[in-house]
Structure 1
């Protein structure tokens, strides 16, 4: 059956209507390397739920006006951009407010290795679940200013650009002078997308010099930055 032609638009996130759907879209679009439990669920606590709860005013959804064969009904989010204008404030709210809501049965607080007071030795390949737990319990070391996901049916149609434009304007209005993204170096398509929107590789050494290369973290992720 042919898909119904639909129109999409960007609108502010509505906490009363969109929370569960945004989490569902996030789960449907997360990388294949995290498509197993408990990593699949832990991912939502690292890169989705805290933004919706702590910074809803800087979250936006891509809404479809008609049904088109996706799992979303007309008017429901088919994509989103989540973020915060202040990483430091966001991290403080995370520790004070968000961690109190985390179910320790779902995400137990990780043990801190001897000699490492934060336990921040990211190891996605060998221990993705443990790494996600450290992301959740230590956001100040890995709080991407934004996270963007779009269902496959709406990708490569300019929707990401619409979301990015609205988000960057909003955080600028709230006082942000710049924005950064931390992402896997292997995601070339995403890096090109961010490049088209003014992001570039961070020029300084990351992770206290752990990587030895400008803009590259110890785990191989890259940091992209953009002035506002």
Structure 2
């Protein structure tokens, strides 16, 4: 049966729910290669959710929302984030990294994406841009499986997340993205994000921001 967007419920993530936790990991991997499946592109693609999905659910599940279409395998999309980026990565190092560092050791001499993500996992502070977080302290990651895309679910997830940030008094949020991902770029601009920092040799990602 083909479900419409109206059949999908945007709801809070359920802490301790094995189905929700597995769905976050699965979605992150299946969308981790420029929106496509990252399996086969990494020595262990589990590094993607270990960096960009699971720690948010473990450290502050109140800002995790999922798109649930009733599939027994779990949600088909999610949004995760942190209200204070600098505080989040301090917590990441203190509480999350000790739990996963042995599974994802640094790969000395590896400069491919696998090596870079392993290095980033062990030095999460590198993801902080002081200029960006000054006025846009929160950040986010959002992913939808292919059959959940182009149905308005991204907008609904984003709205749930932004409303939750406003309730916490957060003034702005940002994200960092690969500028080659033109579909995602267009979505963020439609939602109201604006460029904060263009890619450079030191930082090849594009930073976008939204005032709340």
TM-score by length of 1: 0.78
Aligned length: 195
The alignment partner of 1:16 has SS state of coil
Larger radius of gyration: 1
Q: 1:183 to 1:39 in 2, by over 3 A?
A: farther
Give 5+ residue unaligned stretches, structure 2: 129-137
Q: 1:149 to 1:98 in 2, by over 3 A?
A: same
Aligned: 1:227 with 2:206 = no
Specify the alignment match of 2:175 in structure 1. 181
Aligned: 1:190 with 2:174 = no
Specify the alignment match of 1:73 in structure 2. 72
Aligned: 1:47 with 2:52 = yes
Q: What is the deviation of 1:108?
A: 0.9
Q: What is the deviation of 1:50?
A: 1.1
The alignment partner of 1:27 has SS state of helix
- Give distance in 2, aligned partners of 1:103 and 1:83: 21
Instruction: Report the RMSD for the aligned CA atoms in angstroms.
Output: 2.2
- Give distance in 2, aligned partners of 1:34 and 1:73: 23
Is the Cα–Cα contact under 8 Å of residues 39 and 132 in structure 1 kept in the other structure? no
- Give distance in 2, aligned partners of 1:82 and 1:8: 18
Specify the alignment match of 1:165 in structure 2. 159
- Give distance in 1, aligned partners of 2:51 and 2:3: 34
Q: What is the deviation of 1:219?
A: 4.3
Q: 1:86 to 1:110 in 2, by over 3 A?
A: farther
Q: 1:87 to 1:110 in 2, by over 3 A?
A: farther
Give 5+ residue unaligned stretches, structure 1: 66-71, 114-122, 203-213
TM-score by length of 2: 0.84
